[in-house]
Chains A and B, each alone.
Chain A
Amino acid sequence: MNLFAYDYMVRALIGATIIGLAAPAIGIYLVQRRLSLIGDGLGHVALTGVGLGLLTQHSPVWTAVVVAVLGAVAVELVRERGKASGDVALAILFYGGISGGVVLTNLSASKSSRSLVSYLFGTPLTTSAQDLVVVGILGAVALTVALLLRPWLFAVSHDEEFARVTGLPIRLLNLTLAVTTAVTVTAAMRTVGLLLVSALMVVPVATAQQITRGFRATMYLAMALGVSASVAGIGVSWQADSATGATIVLLSIVAFVVVTVGAGAARRVRAGRPSSARRPQDGATPDDAAAEPHEVVLGR
Chain B
Amino acid sequence: MTLPHPVVAVDDLVVVYGGRPVLRSVTLHVAAGDVVAILGANGSGKSTLIRAVLGLLPPRQGEVRLFGTPLRRFRDWRRVGYVPQRLDASGGVPATVHEVVASGRLARRGFLRPNRQADRDAVAAALADVGLTDRAGDAVGTLSGGQQQRVLIARALAGAPDLLILDEPTAGVDAASQESFAVTLRRFVGRGGTVLLVAHELGPLAPLIGRAVVVHHGEIVHDGAVPEPAGHHADPDHEHVHPHAPYDLPGLWGTP
Q: Which residues of A contact B (CB under 8 A)?
A: 28, 31-34, 149, 151-152, 154-155, 157-159, 161-169, 205-206, 209, 212-216, 218, 285, 287-289, 291-293, 295-300
Contact = CB atoms under 8 A, between A and B. Distances in A.
10 contacts: A34-B91, A158-B103, A159-B88, A159-B89, A162-B82, A214-B98, A291-B176, A295-B172, A296-B146, A300-B94
B96 A32 contact: no
A288 B132 CA distance: 12
Interface in B128-177: 137-148, 155, 159, 172-177
A158 to B, nearest CB: 6
A152 B84 contact: no
B199 to A, nearest CB: 16
Contact of B86 (A212, A288, A298): A298
B245 interface: no
A163 B84 CA distance: 12
B247 interface: no
Contacts of B115: 151
A31 to B, nearest CB: 5
Greatest chain A CB density within 10 A among B78, B87, B91 is at B91
A165 B146 contact: no
B205 interface: no
Nearest to B119: A151
A148 B88 CA distance: 24
Contact of A292 (B80, B90, B145): B145
B107 A215 contact: no
B104 interface: yes
Given A149-B112, A154-B95, A298-B86, 10 more contacts: A152-B112, A162-B82, A165-B77, A205-B93, A213-B96, A213-B137, A214-B99, A215-B94, A297-B145, A300-B92
Contacts of B99: 154, 214-216
B75 interface: yes
B56 interface: yes
Nearest to A167: B77
A173 to B, nearest CB: 9
B28 interface: no
Contact of A218 (B86, B93, B98): B93
B102 interface: yes
A292 B140 CA distance: 16
B241 interface: yes
A95 to B, nearest CB: 26
A25 to B, nearest CB: 13
B177 A288 contact: yes
Given A31-B93, A297-B145, A298-B141, A155 B103 contact: yes
A212 B94 contact: yes
A169 B111 contact: yes
Contact of A31 (B82, B91, B102, B173): B91
B140 to A, nearest CB: 8
B88 A214 contact: no
Contact of A288 (B106, B139, B147, B172): B147
A157 B77 contact: no
Nearest to B78: A167
A209 to B, nearest CB: 5
B92 A166 contact: no
The 8 closest A-B pairs by CB, nearest first: A167-B77, A300-B141, A296-B145, A32-B91, A214-B96, A289-B144, A155-B103, A288-B144
